Amino acid sequence: MKVAVCSAQSYDRQFLSDANRDSGHELAFFDSHLCQETRQMVAGFPAVCAFVNDTLDAPVLEALAGQGTRLIALRCAGFNNVDISAAGRFGLRVVRVPAYSPYSVAEHTVALMLALNRYLHQAYNRVRNGNFALQGLLGFELRGKTAGIIGTGHIGSAVAQILHGFGCRLMAHDPQPSVDCISLGVEYVPLEQLYAGSDIITLHCPLNPQTHHLIDAAAIARMKRGVMLINTSRGAVIDTRAVIEGLKASRIGYLGLDVYEQEGDLFFRDLSDQVRQDDVFERLLTFPNVVITGHQGFFTAEALASIARTTLQNVSLFEREGLCQNEVTVELVRGG
Ligand code: NAI
């Protein structure tokens, strides 16, 4: 099948081309994001392979359907950038990679926690500058601390397992509690209780209308003073401006982000020689207790190989049998 791969980076070319040796699809790689302005580039491709920051809103989907596309194959788990009901209206099927290596994101989440609680980001620079003073680097131990996990699906459960190994007490909030987490001793509690009782709060729920700006000023006001907040899910689960106020007031003691609400204008490219225009993001970078990575939680060799394999299997099944494994339906969106 002819597949247009949008937002293609060198590693996408490498891993998809390798996996395609078993699948035999005709892959065409496009550097550009998919959006209204670039939709022409994928004209005539029955399958379009998109990533997290490609825009698949109703106008783009209508245009794609009109120019011959039948399948949107997301090479990611999240699908908040796709208007699923519009896709259905225009006869487009949408598939995704629901699980690849949850450990990729889970381990990155814990890496952010460990960088923050021992100030590794600062220590790295100090030592390189010949500054071996310890003032300002006083850490805390994870053992015995309470971690609150919001969303215990594939990634949240893997985080729970790792933090259990560190000796943390674990609380969680999820409308669908995980049996594995319960047997690990995770206590499911209402959000209020999680906010009030957690030393570390880590977000692993999808972005949907219920979770949009879940972490806002009111939520932050209910958290323990000095809480560590980690977001590796989707940027808009937190209200960034409210979090900045929380940092300024020392209500938030540590912030680790792998995702950002307006990341579509920033991430996955080198802007080091440009004047960056996002003042909210730049403000975040001024805090000594903030570590930000550019949506790299998924970025391990194991995860990329698995994503490429599943993406091409999704396309093959659709081509061969007209079936969609791993389909994103309106029911799935409603169910969160
Ligand atoms: P999953 O679908 O396995 O788990 C999500 C969990 O969140 C489910 O158990 C669900 O019941 C729960 N949930 C839904 N609404 C909720 C709410 N209002 N409050 C609390 N929990 C709620 O998804 P998975 O694979 O664990 O991924 C989680 C999120 O991580 C994805 O939706 C995606 O946004 C993000 N992600 C980030 C990556 C990165 O590179 N930083 C890579 C992959 C995913």
Cite the residue boundaries of each domain of the chain with CATH code 3.40.50.720: 2-100+300-335, 102-292
pLDDT-derived band at 49 (thresholds 50, 70, 90) equals: very high
Q: What is the pLDDT of residues 197-237, one digit of tens each?
A: 999 999 999 999 999 999 999 999 999 999 999 999 999 99
CB-ligand 1 contact for 304 (6 Å cutoff): no
CB-ligand 1 contact for 96 (6 Å cutoff): no
Whether 335 shows a pLDDT value over 80: the answer reads no
3-class secondary structure, 156:
helix
- Reported for 263-271, long-range contacts at CB under 8 A and 24+ positions apart, including other chains, are 263/53, 263/235, 263/294, 263/295, 264/33, 264/53, 264/55, 266/294, 267/53, 267/294, 267/295, 268/7, 268/9, 268/53, 268/294, 268/295
Residue whose CA lies nearest to ligand 1 atom number 2: 153
Separation of alpha carbons 260 and 277, rounded Å = 15
CATH no. for 2-100+300-335:
3.40.50.720
CA separation for the pair 90, 69 (Å, rounded): 10
Determine whether 241 is an active site residue.
no
Distance CA 8, CA 219 (A): 37
Residue 176 near ligand 1, beta carbon < 6 Å: yes
Q: What is the mean pLDDT of residues 261-276?
A: 94
Q: Does domain 102-292 have CATH number 3.30.9.10?
A: no
pLDDT at 334: 78
Q: Is the dihedral of CA 59, 65, 67, 73 positive or negative?
A: positive
DSSP 263: G
Which among 234, 261, 309, 319 is annotated as catalytic?
234
Q: Is the CB of 81 under 6 A from ligand 1?
A: no
pTM: 0.93
Q: What is the largest CA-CA distance in the chain?
A: 65
SS3 labels along 7-28: CCCHHHHHHHHHHHCCCCCEEE
Find the 154 Cα to ligand 1 centroid distance in Å: 7
